[in-house]
Amino acid sequence: MITYVDAAAKARRTPGVIPLHGEEGFAGMRKAGQLTAQALDILTEYVEPGVPTATLDKVAYEFARDHGAVPATLFYKGYRHSLCTSLNHVVCHGIPDERPLREGDIVNIDLTLIVDGWHGDSSRMYPVGELSRKAERLIEVTYECLEAGIAAARPGNHTGDIGAAIQALAEGERMSVVRDFVGHGLGRLFHDEPNILHFGTPGTGPEIKPGMIFTIEPMINLGRPHVKILSDGWTAVTRDRTLSAQCEHSIGITETGCEIFTSSPAGLFNPLAARAAN
Ligand code: MF3
Ligand code: CO
Ligand code: CO
């Protein structure tokens, strides 16, 4: 059974209880989402061959500090960094380190900034120099998957409609959807109800209602969907070592559709498309 409660009355995650936010929540998420998007825009300039992912972490840490925000991942469940950097066959939760980026790499940067208690969670794919055609194609399809999921995120639909739209698109391109990680409700909490699966059956799952706030963050693989976690306890990689891509927005359900809180002020949400346009 699914129940819905006024978010103001809900202080911690309760399984099966989905908070519904009012104007205060939407205003808070707008501000947090826009600051996160601004940081991801700035990071575009730093992603280049020779740059270690630790530099991206430092840029995000200093940006947050200078803007009165706190990176949500810092000291989250023992994680010690301001963002995640997931390179090539890394699916998600890649840890920034001193290894330099190389021409042809694809890297996902996933950042969550807390502003006035609200969490803005977003990730994008950044190309390092020139990419192979198959890496470009993977990134294109992953962005299309997120767009298809967002188009299905409206009142009257069910969460399963979001997953079904994403799965149909990815598998239609002979790519696969990772099952082990899901989108999530968020707000004053980093991870709240509902879970948003990126695969599934239309009409299943909780009904989508105005006031819900959650992420959609599909992870798409060129090969098979299976992942394993490395011995660091965080890094998730594809078992078959094929390339993986992800992109993520935080959204709020309105009366007619949804509002995207983490859209890019500079139009850089898909850096590959932005580069092609120039
Ligand atoms: N930002 C990730 C998400 O989209 C969560 C990262 S948790 C971490 O939900 F600890 F791995 F950083
Ligand atoms: Co994220
Ligand atoms: Co997320």
CATH number of residue 51's parent domain: 3.90.230.10
Query: Residue 229 domain-assigned?
Result: yes
Q: How many domains does the chain have?
A: 1
Q: Which range is least confidently modeled, 4-13, 148-157, 181-190? A: 4-13
Query: Residue 4 domain-assigned?
Result: no
Query: Residue 238 domain-assigned?
Result: yes
Q: Does the pLDDT at position 2 exceed 90?
A: no
pLDDT in tens, 199-231: 999 999 999 999 999 999 999 999 999 999 999
User: Tokens 């309105």 — which residue?
Assistant: 254
Strand partners, 90: 237
User: Using CA atoms, how far apart are residues 120 and 141, in angstroms rounded to an integer?
Assistant: 24
**Ligand 1 pocket, mutate which of 121, 146, 189 (most atoms under 8 A from CB):** 121
Query: Residue 10 domain-assigned?
Result: no
Query: Residue 223 domain-assigned?
Result: yes
Q: Does the beta carbon of 161 sit less than 6 angstroms from any atom of ligand 1?
A: no
Pairing of strands 227-229, 236-238: antiparallel
Distances (CA, A) of 218 to 56, 155, 169: 22, 21, 11
Q: Does the beta carbon of 112 sit less than 6 angstroms from any atom of ligand 1?
A: yes
**Domain that residue 37 falls in:** 20-277
pLDDT band at 234 (very low <50, low <70, confident <90, very high): very high
Query: Residue 175 domain-assigned?
Result: yes
Query: Residue 249 domain-assigned?
Result: yes
Q: Does the beta carbon of 73 sit less than 6 angstroms from any atom of ligand 1?
A: yes
Overall average pLDDT of the 86-97 stretch: 98
- 121 in a labelled binding site: yes
- 184 in a labelled binding site: yes
**Ligand 1 pocket, mutate which of 112, 125, 178, 248 (most atoms under 8 A from CB):** 112
CB 205 within 8 A of CB 197: yes
pLDDT at residue 11 in the model: 85
pLDDT in tens, 247-277: 999 999 999 999 999 999 999 999 999 888 8
pLDDT band at 91 (very low <50, low <70, confident <90, very high): very high
Atom of ligand 1 nearest to the CA of 111: 1
| pLDDT over 90, % of the chain | 96
Atom of ligand 1 nearest to the CA of 93: 11
CB 117 within 8 A of CB 188: yes
User: Using CA atoms, how far apart are residues 75 and 60, in angstroms rounded to an integer?
Assistant: 15
pLDDT band at 278 (very low <50, low <70, confident <90, very high): confident
The contacts of residue 220 (CB under 8 Å, 6+ apart) are 138, 141, 142, 145, 170, 175, 176, 177, 178, 244, 245, 246
The overall average pLDDT reported for the chain is: 97
Query: Residue 15 domain-assigned?
Result: no
pLDDT in tens, 39-77: 999 999 999 999 999 999 999 999 999 999 999 999 999
